[in-house]
Amino acid sequence: MSKKISKKILKYTVIFEPAEEGGYVASVPVLPGCVTEGNTFEEAVKMVQDAISGYLAVLQEEGLEIPLETDEAVVTKVSVPDPLYHIP
Q: What is the pTM of this model?
A: 0.79
What are 9-19's pLDDT values in tens digits? 899 999 999 99
> Helix and strand tally (H, E) in the chain?
1, 3
Which structural domain range is residue 51 located in? 10-67
Give domain status of residue 85, yes or no: no
Within a domain: 62: yes
**CATH number reported for the structural domain that contains residue 21 in this entry:** 3.30.160.250
Cα angle for residues 26, 78, 87 (degrees, 5° grid): 125
Among the listed residues 9, 15, 63, 57, the one whose alpha carbon sits nearest the alpha carbon of residue 36: 15
Instruction: Give pLDDT tens digits for 50-79.
Output: 999 999 999 999 999 999 988 777 888 999
- Higher pLDDT: 84 or 35? It is 35
With 0-12 CB in 10 A as exposed, 13-18 as middle and 19+ as buried, what is 31?
buried
